[in-house]
Copies of this chain bind each other. A is one copy, B any other.
Amino acid sequence: MSENGRIIVLGGDGFCGWPTTLQLSQAGYDITIVDNLVRRKIDVELGTQSLTPIETIQHRIRTWKELTGKEIDYVDFNIAEEYPLLERLIAEVEPQTIIHFAEQRAAPYSMKSPRHKRYTVDNNINGTNNVLCAIVESGLDVHLVHLGTMGVYGYGTAGMAIPEGYLDVKVDVGDGKEVSIDIPYPPHPGSIYHMTKTLDALLFYYYNKNDGVRITDLHQGVVWGTNTPETLMHPALINRFDYESDFGTVLNRFLMQAAVGHPLTVYGTGGQTRAFINIQDTVRCVNLAVDNPPERGERVKIFNQTTETHRVRDLAKLVSDLTGAEIRYYVDPRNESLENELIVHNEQFLALGLDPITLSEGLVTEVIDVAARYKDRVNFDVIPPTSRWTADIPLDKVGSPEPVEFQPVI
């Protein structure tokens, strides 16, 4: 056993899971990864691959051991379907923390078809419920750290800044009396994927209340960037970079598009304001969450894991100014407000010492070291969007570069 304790990382082969695993291993934790490699298999389904040439999980782990002498355990099973293996693993490892990245995480993928909607709900909810159920059954005091999303909030109310998980409200209880209550922020999900994260939040609320499970839920913004100090230690440790329209995050997509000379695909007016975070800060935040668990008996601890907000069209302009890329406006495949404001509280991580990497400082490195370097691996077919939120959006207009009149239903 290491000096720091044992952690199970569910989904430890993924975009956030892999660099988190390496940093925690480097920090002295003993890590066991559970991953059924479904993210790699979905690349096969979509006819794409990571822009960066990622190695097999076995090769990654072997390289890490050669470089650092540190062992990472790996088991391949499906936490949503193979519950007995999860119970047994927890009994064997006796982890102090379980980090849960093992969910289908792409909004567009969750909207592709009934099969994708149903897979996302089935996988994410049964996975989370199984983890919680197995923690209770183990009788161990395990701290669960879950990667959630800023998307559970919707876009705030009347210019109000979005708090970290809980909202103080006043309720009229009759006879002219008002009481103040502190409620979980009313969820307003924007896709089937985001909806599953709001369902997760209720699972956490219940298991925390009934069974006293200690839980941290990280409401994360849109991640950009690729590597961390640990994934840069050796080419075989490189992190994945998703550039296609389903799993690629908006800024990473723009960087790749600029690198290959494809116009930047802005949806609608590009007036959507989003919260962002660099992958290196993601990893640091998860580490801070692991090291600062809620007390026994404390309610679910919620952090807004994000460092800055930007409008999508401003990001496109930034990338365009940096690279000379053309900007094109596409029919928005999402059922969303085309223009929104977003102000987000994130004081908790700052108070724990997070010193964020800003977009302005990290962007040039990212373009040169990753997007430009691996641009020959791009499949142009998977750049335009192909998923749509409702049947109201004409199929032949999804991925169409001429902006058309489309009023979302929201």
Contacts and interface: CB of A to CB of B under 8 A. Distances in A.
Interface of A: 83, 87, 114, 117-118, 121-122, 125-126, 129-130, 133-134, 136-137, 139, 157-161, 167-174, 178-179, 181, 183-184, 186-187, 189, 191-192, 195, 198-199, 202-203, 205-206, 209-212, 335, 389-391, 409-410
Contacts of A130: 118
Nearest to A198: B202
Given A87-B114, A391-B139, A186 B184 contact: yes
A157 B133 contact: no
Given A159-B173, A170-B170, 10 more contacts: A117-B133, A118-B126, A118-B129, A121-B125, A122-B126, A157-B179, A158-B171, A187-B202, A189-B206, A192-B206
Each complex incorporates copies of this chain amounting to 2
A325 B252 CA distance: 72
A33 to B, nearest CB: 23
Contact of A157 (B117, B159, B181, B191): B181
Contacts of A391: 136, 139
A173 B195 contact: no
A117 B139 contact: no
A209 B137 contact: no
Contact of A121 (B126, B139, B181): B126
Contacts of A181: 157, 186
Contacts of A129: 117-118, 121-122
A275 to B, nearest CB: 19
Given A122-B126, A179-B157, A211-B390, A189 B170 contact: no
Nearest to A132: B117
Given A126-B122, A172-B168, A210-B335, A195 B202 contact: yes
A264 to B, nearest CB: 27
Contacts of A409: 209-210, 212
Contact of A173 (B157, B179, B202): B157
Contacts of A209: 409-410
A258 to B, nearest CB: 32
B203 A195 contact: yes
Given A187-B202, A202-B187, A206-B192, A114 B139 contact: no
